[in-house]
Amino acid sequence: SLVMPSDGGHRAPDTRNTVCWMDNLVMEGGKSEKITFRAPRTGGDYIILVRGMSDQGGILSVAAHFTVE
């Protein structure tokens, strides 16, 4: 899971376009994995994009949408 440091009381907008990057996530075929991250403070519609590579070298890609109000 992703742990974000405290913002120290600053109230600047969170303008990152990548809020979670996991370059070493290994998943077992046929099983689900829970991925936890802190949602952006800026309201709007966001896309979760998970990309990877299978053991055989095939490219995998899944997308989902969520809204922050």
What is the model's pTM? 0.59
What are the tens digits of pLDDT across the range 12-65?
A: 666 677 878 888 888 888 888 888 888 777 888 888 888 999 889 999 999 999
What separation in angstroms does the CA of 46 have from each of 26, 27, 55, 63, 68? 24, 23, 29, 10, 8
Q: Which amino acid is at 40?
A: P
- What band does 4 get if pLDDT is binned at 50, 70 and 90? very low
Helix/strand/coil (H/E/C) assignment for every residue in 11-44: CCCCCCCCCCCCCCCCCCCCCCCCCCCCCCCCCE
Per-residue pLDDT band at 6 (split at 50, 70, 90): low
Structure tokens at 9: 């009381």
